[in-house]
Amino acid sequence: MRRPSRKRTFRGLEPLEKRALMAFDFVTPGPLSVATIANSAVIRIADPAEVDEASHAIYEAGGYVDGGFGPLTWGIVFSPGVDRDAVLSTWKSTAWLASAETDGLIASSALPVSDPLATQQWAIADTAKASVHAPEAWSRSVGAGVVVAVIDSGVDVNHPELAGQLWINPKESAGNRKDDDRNGFVDDINGANFLNNTGNVQDDAGHGTHVSGIIAAAANNGNGGVGLAPGAKIMALKVLDASGNGSINAAVNAIYYAVNNGAKVINASWTMSVGSPALISAMSFAASRNVVFVTAAGNERSNNDLVPSYPGNYRFTNVLTVGAVDSDGKLADFSNYGASTVDVAAPGVSILSTTPGSYEAWDGTSMATPFVAATAALIASLRPDYTAAQIVDRIKSTATRSVDLAGIIASAGYLDAGAATNLPAYVAPAQTVVPVVTPLKRTPVRPVRRVPLPRRLR
């Protein structure tokens, strides 16, 4: 579910890059403090003969050598209370100093993607405590080959981040206005619309587009941000109208469609307050086919253990019910919870993603759910031998434990995609070669002709 969003202003995130510095033979007193952009500098010594003089000057000024970029280029850190700029100004008149520059902010180079908004996606960019460690996960998997069914309000099929990320029905021919695969939907190329039984999955609410972008927005395409599983494909199944309303019947039919058409993961960012035998049957069918079912906990600040919320309260082994946390890893003030019924939490506050023709930041357990669905896709791509239950257990067991979530979230933690994908490589099982036995060629045996004996020999 999406929580009503507030307008937010975005600024580029430019954390100070960590530096790996070489050790020196001599030591100045330290460490006096942690290096920050307010108290550090980089200096270059004018001549090797001046190294001792420079070391003494740094000591007298209340600083220490943090390491070096070369024999004559050093990183300097000053203790608290030292006026760094005044010291550097004084050193300019000395013979031993060739140059000095104060430290400053630089753009993070941690992300292995070039998408312009990626650094503003705090859950992806590793700039917050509750980031999902996407770069680490991407070093192992991007979700290639996995189909994620997004049962929602549809998808903006023309969005530059999503147009190339959509599942294509191999049994249907585009634009011929025929139901080629005879499943009841005409031209269901990228999925199906269960509100009017057509193949038109264009999003008129924005919710499904936002969810889909979190999962699989394209990487390195020069547009917007990036999804957590950019190698996965989105199967768009429209069950919600422009107002965000839908029916149980539509949702149930969408689940069967997803399973029967090869989806490995289902994302259901919606809830309902009443149970449904038909929904139970559909979810049971998904479980029997090893399809991971990821759903939202809800945005009512409610304990789902006491006040059931469906489909999340149906506890099949393939189900992951997701609550929301903020960037500090604390449960979002709107998120539902439940020590027995909400499995894991994930980023759900100020989540920047795709909307029809644009990009917006939204809040909600609807936004947290696709991060978990995307992680399931990463694991499924990495380990095609895993069952749905194994993927579910992996995500829960590798969640970052938090005292703030203990007793209110079943795993007592929030999503860590990097840890979840830290798995041994898949080794395909050896194929048993059945020897081909070639039958021996049978040579026809001619019957022996009996020659009658002469009468005298009888």
Which residue is catalytic, options 131, 153, 366, 402?
366
Tokens of 235: 């199967």
Q: How many residues does the chain have?
A: 458
End-to-end Cα separation, the chain, in angstroms: 107
Which residue is catalytic, options 66, 103, 152, 343?
152
Q: Are 252 and 272 in contact (CB under 8 A)?
A: no
So what's the pLDDT on residue 51? 86
pLDDT band at 425 (very low <50, low <70, confident <90, very high): confident
So what's the pLDDT on residue 92? 87
Q: Which of the two residues, 282 and 42, has the higher pLDDT score? A: 282
CATH architecture of 118-420: 3-Layer(aba) Sandwich (3.40)
**Alpha-carbon distance 22 to 67, whole Å?**
5
Among the ranges given (39-48, 69-78, 182-191, 282-291), the one the predictor scored with the smallest mean pLDDT = 69-78
Phi, psi of 294 (to 5 degrees): -110, 130
pLDDT band at 85 (very low <50, low <70, confident <90, very high): confident
CB contact burial 341-362 (16+ within 10 A = b; e otherwise) = bbbbbbbbbbbbbbbbeebbbb
pLDDT band at 73 (very low <50, low <70, confident <90, very high): confident
pLDDT band at 357 (very low <50, low <70, confident <90, very high): very high
- Non-local (6+) Cβ contacts of 382 within 8 A are 140, 141, 421, 423, 425, 426
The answer on pLDDT for 365 being more than 90 is yes
**Alpha-carbon distance 198 to 185, whole Å?**
5
**Alpha-carbon distance 43 to 137, whole Å?**
37
Residues 123-172 have pLDDT tens digits of 999 999 999 999 999 999 999 999 999 999 999 999 999 999 999 999 88
Question: HSE of 275 in the Cβ direction (CA atoms, 13 Å)?
Answer: 8
Please state the domain extents for the chain: 40-102, 118-420
- Return the number of other C-beta atoms located less than 10 Å from residue 215's C-beta: 31
**Alpha-carbon distance 145 to 230, whole Å?**
11
The overall average pLDDT reported for the chain is 86
Residues 212-239 have pLDDT tens digits of 999 999 999 999 999 999 999 999 999 9
Among the ranges given (25-34, 111-120, 128-137, 339-348), the one the predictor scored with the smallest mean pLDDT = 25-34
Tell me the average pLDDT across 309-316: 98
Q: Which of the two residues, 83 and 205, has the higher pLDDT score? A: 205
Active site residue 152: yes
Which residue is catalytic, options 55, 207, 269, 309?
207
Which stretch of DSSP H or E encloses residue 125?
helix 122-125
Q: pTM of the entire structure?
A: 0.73
So what's the pLDDT on residue 106? 38
- Enter the DSSP assignment of 22: B
β-pair partners for 413: 401
So what's the pLDDT on residue 63? 84
Active site residue 159: no
Active site residue 366: yes
The answer on pLDDT for 19 being more than 90 is no
Among the ranges given (23-27, 385-389, 449-453), the one the predictor scored with the smallest mean pLDDT = 23-27
Tell me the average pLDDT across 243-254: 95
Among the ranges given (65-74, 299-308, 354-363), the one the predictor scored with the smallest mean pLDDT = 65-74
The answer on pLDDT for 15 being more than 80 is no
Tokens of 283: 């979810």
